[in-house]
């Protein structure tokens, strides 16, 4: 293994792994992917595994958050915020669930970037800027 790298990607979650993979497609680039956690445990292949891996220091960073005024029934306790500490990151401990941004916020972002934001098939899209078309 090389001691020098062109790119160092910190975090072997979904995004970090994809970025490292894409960068490594160029044979002239040396890419290092650094992950604090281990390989996902064998239990991760079971559909019920996320419940067993959340709030487990071996696979979860054990972050908590202040619930603010929304958590009055918690009586001062904090809310767990599961974040994956393993290859695959949080996708491995959150049932592969993702949340799209609120369309109003996406439209605001689009206006700031001078793009029109459209909603198609449930996903907000930012049309890509294009140069002059080839004839």
Q: Residue 122: what are its φ and ψ, rounded to 5°?
A: 80, 0
Contacts of 70 (CB under 8 A, 6+ apart): none
pLDDT in tens, the chain (135 residues): 678 999 999 999 888 999 999 999 999 999 999 999 999 899 888 888 888 899 999 999 999 988 877 777 777 788 888 999 999 899 888 887 666 667 777 777 767 666 555 555 444 444 444 444 443
pTM of the model: 0.62
The pLDDT, as a whole number, for residue 19 is 92
Residue 124: what pLDDT? 45
Three-class secondary structure of residue 129 per DSSP: coil
Q: Which pLDDT value is given to residue 113?
A: 63
């Amino acid at each position: 293994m090389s001691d020098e790298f062109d790119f160092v990607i910190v975090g072997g979650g979904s995004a970090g792994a994809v970025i490292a993979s894409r960068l490594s497609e160029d044979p002239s680039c040396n890419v290092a992917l650094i992950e604090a956690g281990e390989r996902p445990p064998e239990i991760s292949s079971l559909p019920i595994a996320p419940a067993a891996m959340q709030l487990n220091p071996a696979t979860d960073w054990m972050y908590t958050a202040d619930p603010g005024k929304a958590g009055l029934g918690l009586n001062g306790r904090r809310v767990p915020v599961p974040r994956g500490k393993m290859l695959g990151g949080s996708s491995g401990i959150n049932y592969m669930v993702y949340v799209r941004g609120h369309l109003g916020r996406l439209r605001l972002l689009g206006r700031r970037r001078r793009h029109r934001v459209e909603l198609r098939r449930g996903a907000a899209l930012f049309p890509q800027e294009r140069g002059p078309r080839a004839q």
